[in-house]
Structure formats: C-alpha cells, structure tokens
Amino acid sequence: MKRSITSRLAGFYKRPPEGRLVLLREMGAASVEAFEHLARGGGLPVALADRMSENVLATHALPLSVGLNFLVNGRDVLVPMAVEEPSVVAAASNAAKMVRGAGGFKGEADAPVMTAQIQLDDVPDPASAAARVLEHRERILALGDASIPRMVSRGGGCRDLEARVLDDALGVLVFHVHVDVGDCMGANTVDTVAEAIAPAIHAITGGTMGLRILTNLTLRRRVRVSAEVRDEEVGGAEIAQGIARASRFAELDVFRAVTHNKGFMNGLDAVAVALGQDFRAIEAGAHAFASMSGKYRPLSTWKRAPGGLVGEAELPLAVGTVGGSVNAHPGVRAALELLGVESAAELSVVMASVGLASNLAALRALAGEGIQRGHMRLHERKRELPSVPPAAMTAAREEAT
C-alpha cells in the first residue's frame, strides 16, 4: 500500500534524534515496531549478529539518517542512509531539493535478471560445442527451473542461455545463464541454477568443468535515472555551466572520473548499507560497468539544457527487498518500511537517484565555493566529538588479560 507522506520536512535537522522520530511517527512513516526499534537506538542484537557472521564479538554501528526532499517517479520518499562521512546526507538532501523544483528524479529498472557463469576448459572445438549445447537450450533452462521451484512459483525463473568462447586454442568456453530472481538480490538463486545445469552442459561439451558462480557485472539488471535542474536552483547560469564543465572533465579523464564516481556512490552506498544490501557486489559491478567501453567513464553526466542542466546515470544494480539480511536485521526492516518501496526495481531507482543527487551536490560545491567550505563546516561538528581516551582502552585491555 502506498502511503502518502512528504519528504519536505522543514527544520528537521534542528530537532534532536528523538524529535525527528516523533515527527516521522506522527506521519505514519513506518510501523510501531519499527519506531520502537529506532527509539531504542536501532542496531542489531548481538545474538542475531552471532547468527549472521562468524567469531562475532559485538556489533559495529554507523549513524542511520534520513535523506529528505526526494521526489522519485512522482512519489515522495524518505531515504534511509547509513554513512560515517559528514555532509553526505545533507548534500544529497540539498540536491534533491534543487531537482524537486523541476519534477524530481525519473527512472526505470530492467527486469531483475541475474547472471551466472559456467566455465569449461579444454573443450575440443569450443564453437561447435557451444552450438550443440544451445540446441538443448530449453531442456537446460527447464533443469535450471527445477532447481528453484519456489522462485518459479513466484514468477521468476530461467530466461536465457548464452555461450562465449574465451580462448579457442585452450578450449575455454563459458556459458551465461540468465535468471529472473524477482525481488531478491538473487546471488544464491543463480548460483543454485548454475550448479544444477552445469553437469548437463558438461555432458555435451566434454572438457574440464570449472567455476559455477554468478557475475557481479549484472548487465541485464540495469537502472537508469535522470533529473533536470534549473539554473536558479544551483546558484545561476555560471555555476550551472561549471557543473557541466566538471562533468565533461570526468568524461575526459580517468583520474577525475573515479572521484566523480566516488561522489556518486557516496549516496547510493549509504542507502545500500542502511538497507542491508551487498555493497561490495554493487561497487564491483558499478566500476566494471564504468570501464566497459575500454576507458573508465563517469556513471553519471550533467549537460547544459536551456535554462538548466540535465543529469543522467546508468549502472548495473543488484538489490533485493526480500531475503538475506533484509529479513534478519531489524534495522534493515525499519529502514525498508521508512523507504516504502514495493519492489527491488523501485529500490534500485531510488538508490540511483540518491547517487545522482550526491553527484550534483558535489559538482555544484566544486564548481562554486569549493568543496572545503561547505564540507568542512559539517566536518567541524565531527571534530567536536569526544574520542575514546587511549588510557581507558589500555585499562580495558589490561583488565581483559
């Protein structure tokens, strides 16, 4: 059920954390259980953490914030963000406010298709072996479907099989199986399919069986977002021109492109962490995609348009709203409720929008007053934080030994 909430919350930042929770609770932005969890300080009970990982000692916390002003495909969204770096949340919220005036972020995601690879070595005549396997495509995909019956009953399942000869002389042949994984991130699902169909493929090709594992370059699961912003929102035509020049700089130069993309991922990763997503997979896929043309390129661009700028971004994004830590972690469940998305596709559009917002905020600061002034104001607050006195740490260590 879509809730009717606003993400325009004037003076939100001036309230203490409890006051922010009160406001969101009054809006009905999440369930009573979610607010109870957040009011207790959020986080993860150690007993649960102990079931999620190994050799657990305690839990490791980050600030959980909410990004404001986001209008995504016509819907107001409150965006949970977990990040240690000051100014990421404020900057993204600021940029979202600028974009809002011109209609907000628009985006769409591909069907949630994940891909696994099956490697075979020493295959005699790999091109004709590939062709023979593809003659059995339907039977092999049916074998794959039989290994994931629950996913198939939910509308997912195997969609396609492809072959790639990587080295003719060495007989290195790789198959890609493409699987619709619904609203899951889908790593386990595609790995299961790859292991289930590999023997049937091997029986046709001969050679030596190699890896059976997903690729994190999920080219069939991409998200595209765009946004417009008017000159007056960014501080005038000169700054808008500066933003477009900064974007072009990233298109021309790998040293700049990587920092540009880091700024884009600042916002996207913060949402990924808040929502318990596999941010290592996301990062690996994003940077491989950025290099697909043979040259490392920006994931997003800002170009001049009459009276403003148009921003666009595209990247592979494998995220889930069910399964994994989404079900296990109470903080992730609360964050998902706050965000209010109904599908993994919707989540990926929000995440890419937050990336584009972070990128706009960074380029605007760099093209205007420079990153240090605004950024550093927020860093100042961090400097005021108490640090754990080393003496206390030593005493604790001594006590423990």
Q: Which residues are catalytic?
A: 85, 262, 278, 375
Distances (CA, A) of 91 to 108, 263, 371: 24, 11, 11
- Neighbour-count burial of 391, counting CB atoms closer than 10 A to its CB (0-12 exposed, 13-18 middle, 19+ buried): exposed
Count Cα atoms within 13 angstroms, Cβ side, for 322: 10
Binding segment for ligand MEV (CB under 6 A), chosen from 218-226, 258-266, 312-320, 378-386, is: 258-266
Q: Applying CB under 6 A, does 260 fall inside the site for ligand MEV?
A: yes
CA distance between the termini of the chain: 55
171: left (phi over 0), alpha (psi -120 to 50) or beta: left
Considering CB under 6 A, how many residues would be counted as binding ligand MEV? 10
Q: Applying CB under 6 A, does 212 fall inside the site for ligand MEV?
A: no
Q: Applying CB under 6 A, does 37 fall inside the site for ligand MEV?
A: no
Q: Applying CB under 6 A, does 244 fall inside the site for ligand MEV?
A: no
Q: Are 362 and 242 in contact (CB under 8 A)?
A: no
Q: Which of 22, 52, 305, 371 is in the footprint of ligand MEV by CB under 6 A?
A: 371
In this chain, which residue has its C-beta nearest to ligand MEV? 263
Nearer to ligand MEV, 171 or 267 (CB): 267
Q: Applying CB under 6 A, does 360 fall inside the site for ligand MEV?
A: no
Q: Is 115 helix (H, G, I), strand (E, B) or coil?
A: strand
Nearest-angstrom CA–CA distance, 108 and 293:
22
Tokens 């009905």 sit on residue: 28
Amino acid at 164: R
Tell me how far, at minimum, the Cβ of 228 lies from ligand MEV, in Å.
20
Tokens 């980050």 sit on residue: 62
Nearer to ligand MEV, 173 or 270 (CB): 270
Tell me how far, at minimum, the Cβ of 95 lies from ligand MEV, in Å.
12
Q: Applying CB under 6 A, does 262 fall inside the site for ligand MEV?
A: yes
Q: Are 119 and 174 in contact (CB under 8 A)?
A: yes
Distances (CA, A) of 177 to 140, 160, 362: 10, 6, 39
Tell me how far, at minimum, the Cβ of 362 lies from ligand MEV, in Å.
4
Q: Applying CB under 6 A, does 362 fall inside the site for ligand MEV?
A: yes
Binding segment for ligand MEV (CB under 6 A), chosen from 52-60, 176-184, 261-269, 377-385, is: 261-269
Tell me how far, at minimum, the Cβ of 54 lies from ligand MEV, in Å.
31
H or E element in which residue 116 lies: strand 113-121
Binding segment for ligand MEV (CB under 6 A), chosen from 8-16, 60-68, 234-242, 362-370, is: 362-370
The contact set with ligand MEV (CB under 6 A) reads 85, 259-260, 262-263, 266, 362-363, 366, 371
